[in-house]
Amino acid sequence: MTTYIVLLGPPGAGKGTQAEVISDSLKLAHISSGDIFRENLKNETELGKLAQGYMNRGELVPDDVTIAMIRERLTRPDCANGAVLDGFPRTPAQATALEGMLKELDGTVRSVPYINVPSEVLVARLSGRWTCQQGHVYHVVFNPPQVTGKCDVDGLELYQREDDQPATVERRIRVYLEQTSPLIEYYRERGLLREVDGTQAIDQVTADLLAAIQKG
Ligand code: AMP
C-alpha cells in the first residue's frame, strides 16, 4: 500500500524540518515543492526562470506549472511506497489535482497533519532562518547550528533565503491565509486533518506528528 502524507502549515511552521524526519522514519520519499523550485532556480532551468519572480515576491507559482512538476515527481521510483508532501498542495485546485494524480497511481492521501502556529510567531521565526543548499534549516535563536554559518549535516555554508526578507515574509503569510488556509477545512471535511501544536519544541512536534499519522 502506498502512503501519501500531506503536511499542512503556514510558512515557518517547520514543515521542511519535520517532513525530513518523518519521511526518514516512515521510509517515504520527501517531496518539497519549494526545494524543487529552488533547485531549478539554482540550475537556471526554464522552470526555475518561470518560478523566480513569483518566489522572490512571495507569491505562488501558477497552479498548472506546479501541478505538472509534482505529477512528474510522484512517478519517480523513490515514491514507490508513497511520499510526504511538504508545500504541496497549496491551493484548492492543487488539492483536487492531487486526488486525481494519486488515483492514477492507485493511492490516496492517508493523513493530513496540520502544524498550527500563530502568525505573530511565524514572523519572528522566518526572519531568523538560515538554510544550506541541501535544504537543512536552522534558526539563529530557536535552532542554531553547532558551528555558526555551517550546516551540521553536510558542513555547507548557510545562507538566508531571499524570500525570508521581512516584507516578503509578510506577503507569504498573507498569501498562505488567503490561498492555502482553505485547505484546512477541505481536509477536515474529508476526516483527514490532524492538528498538532507547532509552537512546541521541535522533537515534541515530531513525536506528535508521528503519533497523529500512526493513528491514521
Ligand atoms: P516554500 O519553501 O515551501 O516556502 O516555497 C517557496 C516558494 O516556492 C513559495 O513562496 C512559492 O513561490 C513557491 N511554491 C512552493 N510550493 C508551491 C506550491 N505548491 N504552489 C505554488 N507555489 C509554490
Residue pLDDT, tens place only, 54-65? 999 999 999 999
Atom of ligand 1 nearest to the CA of 86: 3
Q: Which residues line ligand 1 (CB under 6 A)?
A: 11, 33-34, 37, 54-55, 58-61, 66, 87-88, 90, 94, 163, 172
Going by pLDDT thresholds of 50, 70 and 90, the confidence category of residue 120 is: confident
Of 15, 38, 125, 194, catalytic: 15
The residues with which 164 forms a beta bridge, in sequence order, are: none
Q: How far apart are CA 213 and CA 210, in angstroms?
A: 5
- CA of 59, closest atom in ligand 1: 12
Rounded to 10 degrees, the C-alpha dihedral 181/101/134/15 comes to 30
Higher pLDDT, 119 or 96: 96
**Domain coordinates of the chain in residue numbers?**
2-117+179-215
Q: In the structure, what pLDDT confidence band is assigned to residue 166 with cuts at 50, 70 and 90? A: confident
Query: Does the annotation count 161 as an active-site position?
Result: yes
Looking at every residue in the chain, the average pLDDT score rounds to 94
| Alpha carbon 105 to its chain's center | 22
Best residue among 33, 55, 70, 174 to mutate for probing ligand 1's pocket (most ligand atoms within 8 Å of CB) is: 33
* Residue type for position 102: L
Between 3 and 196, name the one with better pLDDT: 196
Question: Which CATH code fits 2-117+179-215?
Answer: 3.40.50.300
Average pLDDT value for residue range 115-138 = 90
Ligand 1 centroid distance, CA of 173 (Å): 12
Question: Any residues with CB less than 8 A from the CB of 114 and at least 6 apart, and which?
Answer: 8, 9, 184, 187, 193, 194, 195, 196
70 Cβ neighbours under 8 A, 6+ residues apart = 31, 33, 85, 88, 94, 98, 101
- Best residue among 20, 36, 55 to mutate for probing ligand 1's pocket (most ligand atoms within 8 Å of CB) is 55
State the average pLDDT over residues 74-80.
95
pLDDT digits (tens, 9 = 90+) for 170-205: 899 999 999 999 999 999 999 999 999 999 999 999
60 CA from centroid of ligand 1 (Å):
6
Asked if 57 is an active-site residue, the reply is no
pLDDT at position 179 is 98
* Best probe residue, ligand 1, of 61, 63, 64, 115 (max atoms within 8 Å of C-beta): 61
Q: 1 pLDDT exceeds 80?
A: no
**What pLDDT was estimated at residue 74?**
97
117-136 mean pLDDT:
90
Does the N-terminal peptide bond of residue 89 adopt cis geometry, omega within 30 degrees of 0?
A: yes
Confidence at residue 163, expressed as pLDDT on a 0 to 100 scale: 85
Q: What percent of the chain has pLDDT over 70?
A: 100
Instruction: Assess contact for 201 and 40: CB atoms under 8 A.
Output: no
pLDDT score, position 162: 83
Q: Tell me, yes or no, if 110 is annotated catalytic.
A: no
pLDDT beyond 80 at 216: no
At 127 the pLDDT is: 87
